[in-house]
Amino acid sequence: MNQYEETIQKIHDDPVLDALNTPEEVGLRRYRSRLSLDGIGYITFGIWSVVKIIASLFLSTEFYTKMIGYMQTEDEPEELVKLVFGVFIAIVCIMTLLVHFKIGVAAIRYSNGTRKTRGFLFLVLIMIVLTAHGLSTYFTQHDYDIKFLDDTAVASAIADLTGIFILIDMVISASRIKRFRRLQREAKQED
Amino acid sequence: MQMDFHYYATYCAAILAGYSHEESMDICYSAQFVDLCSKTLLGKIGAPAQAATTQLQLELMDGRSDLLAVQESTSIWSSFHFLPGNLHKEKNRRTKLYMDKYRLVCMPNGELVKKTVQLAMGQSLQHVGIAMHVLADTWAHMFFAGTPSLVINNVTTGDFYEMKEDGTQSRIFFRHNPSVPDDPEKNLYTNSLYQSSETSVMNLGHGRAGHLPDYSYLKYRYLPAWSDYRMVLKDNPSDYMHAFCQMIYALKKLRAGDDDIRTEIYDTDAIAGYEERIDGILKKRQLIACDDWKAFGEELSGMAIPDFDIETYQEEYMQAAPDQKEETFLGRFIRAALAQKRMVCEEIQSTGNLLTGIPMRRRKKDKK
């Protein structure tokens, strides 16, 4: 304990406070806060992913035209193809949002004790793999030729890296919370 | 702290320390004036703006948020209202930027409070009053820093619990409605809005905890941002009693001219026979205790204590000739405020902390 902590303790020694500041209680507060922030961060990341999808359609007409070309056959009118394409994109956006929202809300509920199980971590692990794989396509699509790597690709890669970081921190924080809750139960049983 | 303690309680402490009624009035007026001496007021009376000992809400709202504004703000609030407890404290794995702010956290019984009282030795009563204001605020405002900082001054508003004398705890709720007074019966208080910007004025001092540190009856626990997820306890009745007894000790030393000032000494003998009365005032569940402290003070001295009037000495200062201004009441107050600010800022700057500005000595060296 350093001199500063000794001063605080000297002024305010209180048994109620001692019970609130055991290593288990402090650890639980720290990792609950982290997991809650991770959850909020991942929901925000989901919104960013949807914005990215929609922005890439509006800004990249080449991609849009290519996709319409793939989907259209000789007999189908172009308007119908565009409608189907629009519905497809809407479904993708909604699914993306739902997955991010589910993971984020589950993390927040686990952090505040409303949710008891850590089943959402399986989905987290899947998303880590998928996001990491998606990250690599920024570099492989042009056969690792860096001169084709534009600013938007770099920015998106950094954002995705952040998403992976959030997911990994979720796994760590959820595990630590489980450990501290177990230690807390053991400490109460000993008392 | 509020007027009840800075004006009336300081008067009581001065009487108990042996000062006369007139001397006590000068001391307590100066102590209260620290909370009102803003740039706006100084501009009105034609006094130097550097002597400001506080910043009004409108001044803070209108102010910039760049480095110079942060330095100006920090130099005022750290010097007069949030005196740092330990400018050399350590914390592992933190950047210099964080540590500069962490070391500004206000705590009582620090080296700086000792220097504050010693600086007032042999000086005017106005200087004594300023020293008493600073000393008292180290108890009320402990655990907050006089610099706008989210990572130091933010609190988790969902973790505020009042700890009552019967052992029960009740949750404290915050709202952002400064036009409505705090409601102690419903545990409903006003605080500043959460702002994620590190140097936002909302994160200055104890704004995030509202006026809770200034209410003498409250004992509560909460989670400050700097405490690494440990709860801290703020026992205002006990802290205010410590502040009162320490003020009496300091005032006696100042009156006797004895500069052997020590920390962690509280003159409890001086309040013998009055402990219950003082304890009752401190623990009474009210937002401001002016009436009770005033009644106590008038009983102690047998004299009437006039209500505080901010304009009492302004005319004297404005009418005085330029070479006579320093001898007026406000002139002596201004000189004392400048000395206090210079001392605290130099102490902070000597540790390599530039949050109160670049040291004057360094500037002269750069010019050469």
Instruction: Quick: pLDDT tens for B227-274.
Output: 999 999 999 999 999 999 999 999 999 999 998 999 999 999 999 999
- Residue A18 exposure: Cα atoms within 13 Å on the Cβ side: 6
Bridge partner residues of B169 (DSSP): B163
Instruction: Indicate left, alpha or beta for A160 from its phi (over 0: left) and psi (-120 to 50: alpha).
Output: alpha
Confidence of residue A146 (pLDDT cuts 50, 70, 90): low
pLDDT at B366: 45
Contact A21 B231 (CB under 8 A): yes
B99 interfacial to chain A (CB closer than 8 Å): no
Is the pLDDT reported for residue A148 higher than 80? no
Question: Under an 8 A CB cutoff, do B223 and A16 touch?
Answer: no
Q: How far apart are CA A185 and CA A114, in angstroms?
A: 17
Q: Is the CB of A29 less than 8 angstroms away from the CB of B89?
A: no
Residue with tokens 């922030």: A37
- B331 contact partners, CB below 8 Å, separation of at least 6: B317, B320, B324, B325
Q: What pLDDT, on the 0 to 100 scale, is given for residue A40?
A: 95
pLDDT digits (tens, 9 = 90+) for A55-69: 877 776 676 677 667
Residues A120 and A102: their CA atoms lie apart, in Å, by: 8
Give the global pTM. Answer: 0.88
CB distance B90 to B109 below 8 Å? no
Between A7, A12, A30, which is nearest B233 by CB?
Answer: A12
- Residue B169's closest chain A neighbor by CA? A16
Find the DSSP H helices in B120-232.
125-140, 150-153
C-beta of residue B241 within 8 angstroms of C-beta of residue B174? no
> How far A9 CA lies from chain B's nearest CA (Å)?
9
CA distance B35 to B80: 9
Q: According to the model, what pLDDT value does residue B55 have?
A: 95
Residues of chain B with pLDDT under 50: 365-368
In sequence order, what E strands does B317-358 have? none
